[in-house]
């Protein structure tokens, strides 16, 4: 069949899309009427020229034909010609026993313009949403006892990543040691998302008996099994509708339930126990684990397809040993919290604070929080001393360099009581934080105390000119 067959020529010339054909050397052999209009040249000015010549002349850019001949693969590119944009797809085919490239060219100028307008509108909406969320978070900061405290590099990098991904509805996997604050991070993601006014529902996969996990997650219908509630039960997935479902300790999810979770992630659908009908779930899923899921996949303890579905965005929550600069703010934050909770007014003495700062905290933030709560409750005096510390912390020696650099000399204590010395330390820390951060609110955040608390101390110590 000839390229100049009258029948096919007539058919191709009636198409609204351009058809451009070049041989294996990139020489233009034929084009339809629409293609001549797209390129703004007659056939006589195109046929016989190479695509490189036409590209140099500015007839189109880039040359899809040239790319196809180089890669020998079907290729689609956005091509520009005479100020308009085209979606050009090139195919390598044989015509009369010789290789040719056939390019199908569709005008997408108006579509691109509409898409850009939509993109700009979406970006503006996203910007307004983020501003509203910042205002809400700022208003709630004083009353939010679960705020994430820290200023270390690792912590700041983690918070920045949380801020970047929170507004996107993608699945997030939180990893890190036990006690690092994965639950707090999950709540932070929810609070900064577009679902913040909807439910945040948490399930700990390791805390529920294996036989009950499915019914807790997906619920069941009336009479689904012996002993079931006669009215059926709403599952946590349904309770989270519109909001966020947080699956803590996801590595403990029974293997036989993992395909059902995969279905929920892929299709946002699930089937309650005893039902045959799929239900839709408008939820965002955040998962967390202190296990290495990749190793579990190799051990056949975790499904590979589920792992990749969960692992869209991974955020590692650093342990305390990787954020030493945050120990002091965390200590003061929880001291303030439990003083208020138990109506006490205790403080750390210098040696105790030094010991706590240099303890390794294998249990991370959870251990630190529980320790401070215990100390606030059990301290004999208003100053928490070394004797008040749990045995495992009290017996942990501080490194020589730390002891030397922070040692209280006899000369220092000759002229002031221990209480006066602690108050001077506290005053210096507050002054330093105020100078470094500029405002009382930011200084309070850095020290891990509330704004009202730092305001009282500023007044108490008569601090000015910061």
CATH number of the domain bearing residue 182: 3.40.50.300
Question: Residue 92: is its pLDDT beyond 50?
Answer: yes
User: Are 209 and 145 in the same domain?
Assistant: yes
Q: Has residue 143 got a pLDDT over 50?
A: no
134 — pLDDT class (breaks 50, 70, 90): low
311 and 216 assigned to the same domain: yes
Residues 162 and 67 in one domain: no
Q: Is the pLDDT of residue 138 over 80?
A: no
**Does 329 lie in the same domain as 391?**
yes
pLDDT over 80 (residue 312)? yes
Lowest mean pLDDT among 70-79, 182-191, 396-405, 450-459: 396-405
Same domain for 332 and 274, yes or no, is: no
Calpha distance 195→172 (Å, rounded): 14
In this predicted structure, which of 3-7, 34-38, 49-53, 311-315 has the lowest mean pLDDT? Answer: 3-7
Least confident piece of the model among 21-35, 119-133, 329-343, 378-392: 119-133
pLDDT exceeds cutoff 70 at 221 = yes
What is the predicted pLDDT for the residue at 451?
80
Q: Kindly state whether residues 33 and 172 are assigned to the same domain.
A: no
On whether both 335 and 288 belong to a single domain, the answer is no
C-alpha to C-alpha distance for 43 and 29, rounded to whole angstroms: 9
Residue 348, domain member (yes or no):
yes
Domain-located, residue 128: no
pLDDT-based confidence at 79, cuts 50/70/90? confident
Confidence (pLDDT) at 222 = 73
In a domain, 391, yes or no: yes
What pairs with residue 106 in β-bridges? 87
- The CATH number of whichever domain residue 372 belongs to comes to 1.10.8.60
Shared domain check, 352 and 221: no
CATH number at 53 reads: 3.30.450.20
Same domain, yes or no: 292 and 374? no
Query: What's the pLDDT at 84?
Result: 83
Residues 181 and 308 in one domain: yes
Which range among 24-38, 75-89, 433-447 shows the weakest confidence by mean pLDDT? 433-447
On whether residue 330 sits in a domain, the answer given is: yes
Closest CA to 401 of 444, 345, 358: 358
Look at residues 107, 131, 158 and tell me which one is the last residue of a structural domain. 107
Q: Give yes or no for residue 128 having a pLDDT over 80.
A: no
Range of 379's domain? 323-460
Average pLDDT across the chain, whole number = 83
Q: What's the pLDDT score for residue 465?
A: 60
Same domain, yes or no, for 306 and 335?
Answer: no
Same domain for 148 and 280, yes or no, is yes
116 lies in some domain:
no
Place 146 in a pLDDT band, splitting at 50, 70 and 90.
Answer: very low
């Amino acid at each position: 069949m000839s390229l100049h067959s009258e029948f096919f020529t007539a058919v191709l010339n009636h198409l609204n899309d351009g058809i451009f054909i070049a041989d294996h050397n990139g020489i233009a052999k034929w084009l339809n009427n629409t293609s001549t209009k797209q390129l703004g040249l007659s056939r006589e000015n195109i046929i016989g020229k190479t695509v490189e010549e036409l590209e140099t002349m500015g007839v189109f850019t880039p040359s899809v034909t040239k790319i196809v001949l180089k890669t020998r693969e079907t290729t689609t590119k956005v091509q520009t010609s005479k100020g308009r944009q085209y979606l050009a797809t090139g195919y390598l085919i044989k015509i009369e026993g010789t290789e040719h490239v056939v390019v199908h060219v569709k005008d997408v100028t108006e579509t691109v313009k509409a898409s850009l307008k939509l993109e700009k509108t979406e970006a503006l909406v996203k910007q307004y949403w983020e501003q509203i969320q910042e205002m809400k978070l700022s208003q709630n900061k004083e009353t939010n006892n679960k705020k994430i405290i820290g200023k270390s590099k690792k912590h700041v990098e983690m918070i920045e990543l949380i801020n970047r991904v929170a507004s996107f509805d993608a699945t997030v996997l939180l990893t890190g040691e036990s006690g690092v604050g994965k639950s707090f991070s999950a709540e932070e993601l929810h609070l900064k998302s577009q679902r913040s006014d909807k439910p945040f529902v948490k399930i700990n996969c390791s805390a529920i008996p294996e036989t009950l996990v499915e019914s807790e997650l997906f619920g069941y219908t009336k009479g689904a099994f012996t002993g079931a509630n006669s009215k059926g039960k709403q599952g946590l997935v349904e309770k989270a509708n519109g909001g966020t479902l947080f699956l803590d300790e996801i590595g403990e999810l029974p293997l036989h339930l993992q395909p059902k979770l995969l279905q929920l992630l892929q299709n946002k659908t699930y089937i309650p126990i005893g039902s045959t009908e799929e239900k839709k779930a408008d939820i965002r899923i955040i998962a967390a684990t202190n296990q290495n899921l990749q190793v579990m996949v190799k051990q056949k303890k975790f499904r590979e397809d589920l792992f990749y579905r969960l692992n869209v965005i991974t955020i590692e929550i650093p342990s305390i040993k990787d954020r030493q600069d945050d120990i002091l703010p965390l200590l003061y934050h929880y001291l303030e919290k439990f003083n208020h909770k138990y109506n006490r007014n205790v403080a750390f003495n210098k040696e105790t604070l030094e010991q706590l700062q240099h303890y390794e905290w294998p249990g991370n933030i959870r251990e630190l929080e529980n320790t401070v709560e215990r100390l606030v409750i059990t301290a004999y005096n208003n100053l928490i001393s070394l004797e008040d510390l749990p045995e495992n912390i009290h017996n942990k020696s501080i490194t020589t360099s730390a002891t030397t650099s922070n040692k209280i000399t006899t000369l220092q204590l000759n002229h002031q009581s221990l209480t006066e010395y602690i108050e001077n330390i506290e005053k210096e820390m507050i002054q330093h934080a105020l100078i470094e951060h500029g405002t009382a609110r930011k200084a309070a955040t850095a020290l891990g105390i509330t704004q009202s608390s730092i305001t009282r101390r500023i007044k108490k110590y008569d601090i000015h000119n910061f």
